[in-house]
Structure 1
Amino acid sequence: MKQIYLAGIMALTILYLSPLAAQEKKFTELTREEILGDFDLIVSILQKQHPNICKFTDSVTFRHQTDSLRKTITQHTDFYTLLTNLPNYLVRDAHLSLRLSNDYNREVFAALQYFPLPVIIERGRMFVNIKGASIPFGSEITGINDVTVTDILKKLASHSASDGYISTGTDRMYDDFQFYYSLTAPGVTSYRVSYIAPGSNDIRRNTLAAVSPATAFQTKYQRTLPLNLLQRAYNIYADYLEKDQTGLLTVNTFSLGETEAYKEFSTFFREVNKRKYKQVIIDIRSNGGGDPGISALLYSFLATQPFRNVYNYRTKTIDIAYPEYVVDNNNRRVSEEDIRNNRNFFYQRFDKDSSGFYKGNARLMEGLLENFPPDKDSFHGRVFILTGGGTVSAATYFASLVQQNKRGTIVGKETGSGEASTTASWFLHYLLPGTKSILTIPRTEVYFFNATRDNGHGVIPDQEIPLPAFVQYFQAGKDPELSYVLEKMQ
């Protein structure tokens, strides 16, 4: 069964986590007081616990916007309305999320009727991503139920999990578009779809029946893109493209121990050097981040000289708001001793500066290797890095290391989290008393390269594939970014 996450709206992933306590009532039986109570608690936690809630907004705007969301929920007071009007997205933080309890997750998933087609979303346009359906594969969808794709994506994109003003969060959304979109329209039994078939300029129309959860789940796994499902099934996967004399390393996470990471990286680069390949491609399009130290470790295999590996953490508060609602990774209430130890950790390692923020001190940053040397097996040929909206946190830091040191070409789209900073580390999990959902909130920001300001954007690629070329590759059933590098950038 799917486990539903919400970052603004929601992000559905195939992770089965430790179950919360069984619900005593159906999600349709949640009371007005329980729904509004959880909404108000989320707002208060964000205000008191978020490390920098006003980075991309201000307190007055945030209050007005949350009041507007609350008014919408009050008018309907059902669980669907809460899930589609969460205040998380107002903060513009890629690391905020809300997870439903297993019981409510199953109930919500089973109660909906779904849009029947998996899609690709690319730069504000939507394409059918399955073969053999009643609408041809690769067709561009222009509207659904008399609403333009532009307006549909505008509504959904405002809730997508990205930092600041980044718009590529739809890269993480389209994989589960059927579920996102269907949740905003519960009770819909059919979808009037307007589309343009490949090779045509005419807008055609077709009415498709909504499908069951089982069918929607099945069609998701019948989609054509992404093609690299095998590579995405592992933390790190190495390919050696002998025909192209290219090493391809897919790195899906930096949440790795140094020993494991070094073994994988060194094995790949030793083999690339042994084969005397002239170029490598590193795919981090689906890398959700982790330890920036592991990002620096990977970059050391590309570096031609020692490089600066500098970052620090800061937060508006070192205290814990509402400790009575905090749970551990197994969803158990944390003890008073755990809360006390956590407070002591932050008290000892963060010092308040003149701006009113707490900044990590020497004790926190002890052991950070700031002047990082190249690895003995470092690669000296051409380097291409594939990025997109799924490139988040420590993965963005890795892309930034490559770009700032002019050591490779970034190909794809803007990363999903900030180039200068993002939230990270020491996450707190709050069990909301009404809906039994888990709100996860980061305790600190991480600032890269001693940054003093954040313009709200990620790493901008050196080369974005022209949209016609992207569509052409996609309709031919090819990986657009990888194909573009191999065919056009040699």
Structure 2
Amino acid sequence: MKKLFVFPLILLFSMGFSQYSISEIPEDGYLKDFDIAVDIIQKQHPNPYRFHGKEAIIRKLDSLRNEIKKNPGYINLLINNPTRIIGDGHSSFGTDPNYFEDVIHSTYYFPLSTYVHNGNIYVNGANKYAIETGSQILEINGLSADTILKKIPKAADGNIKVEDLDIPFNIPFILKNSPHDFTLKYKALNGEQKTAKVNGIKYPQYYYETKHAVLPIDLVSESYGIYGYKIDAETYYLSVKSFSYDESFFYERLKKYFQDIKNLKSKKLIIDIRNNSGGAISNVALLYSFIAKEKNFNNEYKYGTKVVDINYTDYLVDPQTNRYYSDKDIADQNNFMRQRFDKAEKGDYYFGNSRLDDTYIKSYPRDGLFFDGKTILLTNNRTFSAATYFASLFKSEKRGEIVGKETGSCSNFTTAAWFLTYRLPHTKSILSIPRTEIFFNNHDKENVAKCTGVIPDYTVKTDFFLKSLKEHKDPELEYSLNLLSQ
């Protein structure tokens, strides 16, 4: 259910329009679309001031608007778009495919694959400049690594620290002038600081380099979505990269793997939900039912919103067809929400009623193929939305230890479920807004504002990370195997 801000390239191929170019956008069109986006967020977001008060949000919006006013342009609008300051990782500001294709073809990208770990940027693969894998990048074109990490827009809830960033793609957009070449300072593996000049690369080469980086190791799971195999005589690895499946299909896949675990008599299990962006929240409990300790476990969540109706009706589109909503479409959407959300006795919230979700089971039964051995869960910043709920459930039920990085969305609630998509009139940018929040484990109060992701029990230290990277091994997986062997 998660949507990212970071220039979603999938839009380049998923929507068809007549050909046009950025040069056709009027200079005042960028500010106009920024103002429209602000108006939509203020009127339509289920709780835009959850993490920052209204006055603070307005100050930040004014600052972003001034950046666009000083330098009106397509990339400047994307980098300074208003979704980036409300603390909602599900709200996104995406690109129009034809416009952004112009940007892609005219941009030179940073040529070295990178990986961010414990606040440092590392070279993540072989390259023609003989810069060793594991070398630490200190500076690119005069920008320190710390400044680079701060400037790249992040998709996360609240103020969660995010390290899973695409440096090579984003670096040309945060530099003042998109360069053809890059000068970097880096620290080699022997500790010596060096300087190198590297040539920018075009998009096809950038894409090639991302597929030949060392990390992530597990590319099979990214393709299959759900994938499992035996690691050693006692340990089984199960990777789940999405919960966005039909429940029947999801169950059949899980049943297959947990039957394998039973047949192999595996005593230890590693479940990997890194880069799992979420999906159907009902599938979370389904997966957990295969590892639950008790015959029944508590699966409790509640939908809530301060905005039931569609208050901003202009520019609404169906994201699948790009067709603008009719009056009937809007009426149907309003009726759907009004029938499923009731006003709370106190406060401004509407909460979902029993008609909302017929898949909701509070006391969820354990599956007959359940695994009761030792279990470790792998998470990272791209563990999001429904996947964060799984991590939260795993932790609250004390099912095992968690290894990796903090999840990108809040451990006690998140925004998600239904979305409204707007195609802004001047830049054709795509603004997506969630319609509800989801509160986990009785967190349904209006004053719920504290947000941390699910915090892992173990984060891989830098020395162990670099050793694994140099050996082309998955650091979190290797660390988990060490824990299980103790």
**Correspondent of 2:251 among 242, 262, 265:** 262
Question: Aligned Cα RMSD in Å?
Answer: 1.6
1:151 lines up with 2:151 in the alignment: no
1:425 lines up with 2:417 in the alignment: yes
1:162 lines up with 2:156 in the alignment: yes
2:183 maps to 192
DSSP-derived class of the 2:451 partner: coil
Shift of residue 317, structure 1, vs aligned partner: 0.6
1:396 lines up with 2:388 in the alignment: yes
TM-score normalised by L of structure 1: 0.94
**Correspondent of 2:340 among 349, 363, 370:** 349
Deviations 1:110-151 (A, max 9, x none): 111111111001121001112133122211111111221011
Shift of residue 13, structure 1, vs aligned partner: 4.7
- State how far apart, in whole Å, the 2-side matches of 1:94 and 1:239 are: 32
**Correspondent of 1:63 among 38, 58, 67:** 58
Q: Which amino acid aligns with 1:264?
A: R
1:384 lines up with 2:376 in the alignment: yes
2:226 maps to 236
DSSP-derived class of the 1:250 partner: strand
- State how far apart, in whole Å, the 2-side matches of 1:91 and 1:483 are: 37
2:211 maps to 221
- State how far apart, in whole Å, the 2-side matches of 1:393 and 1:94 are: 9
1:85 lines up with 2:76 in the alignment: no
Report if aligned partners of 1:418, 1:454 keep a CA contact under 8 Å in 2: no
After superposition, residues 14-163 of structure 1 pair within 5 angstroms as 14=10, 17-24=13-20, 26-134=21-129, 135-156=131-152, 159-163=153-157
Q: Which amino acid aligns with 1:323?
A: T
Report if aligned partners of 2:418, 2:434 keep a CA contact under 8 Å in 1: yes
DSSP-derived class of the 1:489 partner: helix
- State how far apart, in whole Å, the 1-side matches of 2:235 and 2:266 are: 6
- State how far apart, in whole Å, the 1-side matches of 2:76 and 2:46 are: 27
Report if aligned partners of 2:11, 2:96 keep a CA contact under 8 Å in 1: no
1:459 lines up with 2:454 in the alignment: yes
Report if aligned partners of 1:420, 1:454 keep a CA contact under 8 Å in 2: no
**Unaligned 5+ residue runs, structure 1?**
none
1:287 lines up with 2:282 in the alignment: no
The structure-2 alpha-carbon separation of the partners of 1:255 and 1:455, relative to structure 1 and needing over 3 Å to count, comes to same
**Correspondent of 2:201 among 211, 231, 253:** 211
Q: Which amino acid aligns with 1:230?
A: V
Deviations 1:143-192 (A, max 9, x none): 11122101111122xx2000012112x31x23xx2111112234312211
Q: What number of residue pairs does the alignment pair up? A: 475
- State how far apart, in whole Å, the 1-side matches of 2:114 and 2:14 are: 30
- State how far apart, in whole Å, the 1-side matches of 2:244 and 2:4 are: 21
Report if aligned partners of 2:379, 2:402 keep a CA contact under 8 Å in 1: yes
DSSP-derived class of the 1:204 partner: strand
- State how far apart, in whole Å, the 2-side matches of 1:407 and 1:13 are: 37
**Unaligned 5+ residue runs, structure 2?**
none
**Correspondent of 2:405 among 413, 428, 440:** 413
Report if aligned partners of 1:385, 1:410 keep a CA contact under 8 Å in 2: yes
Report if aligned partners of 2:4, 2:90 keep a CA contact under 8 Å in 1: no
**Correspondent of 2:323 among 308, 329, 332:** 332
- State how far apart, in whole Å, the 2-side matches of 1:14 and 1:317 are: 29
